[in-house]
C-alpha cells in the first residue's frame, strides 16, 4: 500500500509538471486569433509580405479589424514606397550607364510594377479607414525591423555601377525595411525621427490621434500618385484618382501649415496631368 501511494504521488507530480509546462493552448489554425498571432511572429522575423497576407485574413473581423487595418496600411504603404524608391534609383543608374542601361531598366521595371500593385492595394484598403470609430488609431504592432539610413549599395546604382545579385538583394531588403520603418514613424506622428517613433511604438497598446494617422495616409496617397506621371507609369487616370482620394482624406484633418502644403501639391498635380 505504501509503494502504491508513492507511485500515485509521483504520477500526480508529473501530471502537474506537464500541465504547468504546456502553458495556454495555441490559437486554433484558421481562426482570427491564429492569423493575428502569425502576423506578429512574421513581423518580428522581418517578413513584411507574409505579415500582410496574415492581416488580410482578419481585415474584416470585428475583434481584430481596428488593429489589423492600420498595421496593414502602414506595411503596404511602406513597402510600396520602398519599391518606388528602388525603381527611381535604378532609373538614374540607367541614365548614367550608357553602355548597358538594360541592366538597370529591367529591375527598374520590376520594382515599379511591385510599387504599382502595392500602392493600389493600399488605396483600396484605405477606403475602409472611415469605418473605424473613435478619435485614436491603434498602432499595436511594435517597432519595425531595419535602419532609417539608406541602403549604401544604392550609391553604386545611381552612379551606373551594376550590383552583384547578393548586393542587389541586400539593397532591396534594406530599402523595403527602411521605408516600412519610416512609414510607421510618420503614421505615429514622428516623421523622419526613428528614436521618437520607437518610443511611441514600443508600447504594445500604442495609439495615435486619428488626424495624425489620416495626414500620414493622405501624404502616402499623394506620393503614390506620382508613380503614374508621364515619365513613369503614365496613367493620368490613376494619378487623378489617388490625388482626389488624398484631397478627400485631408478634409478630415485640422488645417495646418502641413495640410495646406500638401493640398497645394495635390492641386498642382491635378492641373498638370
Find, among 207, 190, 187, 211, the residue nearest to 139 by Cα.
Answer: 207
Which residues contact residue 122 at a Cβ distance below 8 angstroms, ignoring those fewer than 6 apart?
73, 76, 77, 80, 220, 224
Cα–Cα distances in Å, from 48 out to 28, 79, 128, 202, 211? 23, 8, 21, 18, 25
Cell numbers standing for residue 63: 475583434
Instruction: State yes or no: pLDDT of 7 exceeds 60.
Output: no
Confidence of residue 253 (pLDDT cuts 50, 70, 90): very high
| CA distance linking residue 262 with residue 216, whole number of Å | 11
| CA distance linking residue 62 with residue 54, whole number of Å | 16
Contact 189, 208 (CB under 8 A): yes
| CA distance linking residue 115 with residue 170, whole number of Å | 18
Dihedral (Cα; 138, 144, 148, 152), 10-degree rounding: -150
What's the mean pLDDT when you consider all of the chain?
A: 92
Find, among 129, 87, 126, the residue nearest to 104 by Cα.
Answer: 87
- pLDDT by residue (tens digit) across 58-117? 999 999 999 999 999 999 999 999 999 999 999 999 999 999 999 999 999 999 999 999
**Counted domains in the chain:** 1
Is 261 contained in some domain?
Answer: no
Find, among 100, 77, 193, 184, the residue nearest to 137 by Cα.
Answer: 184
Domain range enclosing 77: 28-210
Q: What number is the average pLDDT over the span 212-240?
A: 97
Is 106 contained in some domain?
Answer: yes
Q: What number is the average pLDDT over the span 153-176?
A: 98
Instruction: State yes or no: pLDDT of 4 exceeds 80.
Output: no
| CA distance linking residue 248 with residue 214, whole number of Å | 11
Amino acid at each position: 500500500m505504501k509503494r502504491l501511494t508513492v507511485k500515485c504521488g509521483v504520477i500526480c507530480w508529473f501530471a502537474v509538471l506537464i500541465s504547468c509546462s504546456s502553458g495556454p493552448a495555441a490559437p486554433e489554425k484558421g481562426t482570427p486569433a491564429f492569423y493575428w498571432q502569425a502576423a506578429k511572429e512574421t513581423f518580428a522575423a522581418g517578413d513584411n509580405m507574409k505579415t500582410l497576407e496574415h492581416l488580410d485574413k482578419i481585415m474584416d473581423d470585428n475583434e481584430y479589424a481596428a488593429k489589423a487595418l492600420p498595421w496593414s496600411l502602414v506595411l503596404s504603404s511602406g513597402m510600396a514606397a520602398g519599391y518606388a524608391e528602388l525603381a527611381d534609383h535604378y532609373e538614374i543608374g540607367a541614365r548614367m550607364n550608357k553602355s548597358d542601361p538594360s541592366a538597370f531598366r529591367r529591375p527598374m521595371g520590376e520594382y515599379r510594377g511591385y510599387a504599382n500593385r502595392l500602392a493600389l492595394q493600399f488605396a483600396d484598403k484605405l477606403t475602409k479607414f472611415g469605418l473605424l470609430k473613435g478619435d485614436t488609431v491603434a498602432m499595436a504592432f511594435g517597432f519595425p525591423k531595419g535602419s532609417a539610413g539608406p541602403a549604401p549599395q544604392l550609391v553604386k546604382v545611381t552612379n551606373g555601377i551594376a550590383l552583384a545579385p547578393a548586393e542587389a538583394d541586400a539593397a532591396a531588403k534594406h530599402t523595403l525595411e527602411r521605408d516600412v520603418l519610416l512609414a510607421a514613424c510618420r503614421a505615429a506622428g514622428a516623421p523622419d525621427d526613428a528614436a521618437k517613433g520607437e518610443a511611441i511604438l514600443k508600447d504594445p497598446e500604442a495609439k495615435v490621434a486619428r488626424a495624425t494617422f489620416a495626414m500620414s495616409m493622405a501624404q502616402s496617397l499623394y506620393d503614390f500618385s506620382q508613380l503614374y506621371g508621364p515619365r513613369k507609369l503614365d496613367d493620368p487616370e490613376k494619378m487623378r484618382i489617388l490625388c482626389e482620394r488624398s484631397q478627400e482624406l485631408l478634409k478630415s484633418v485640422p488645417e495646418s501649415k502641413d495640410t495646406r502644403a500638401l493640398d497645394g501639391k495635390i492641386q498642382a498635380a491635378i492641373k498638370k496631368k
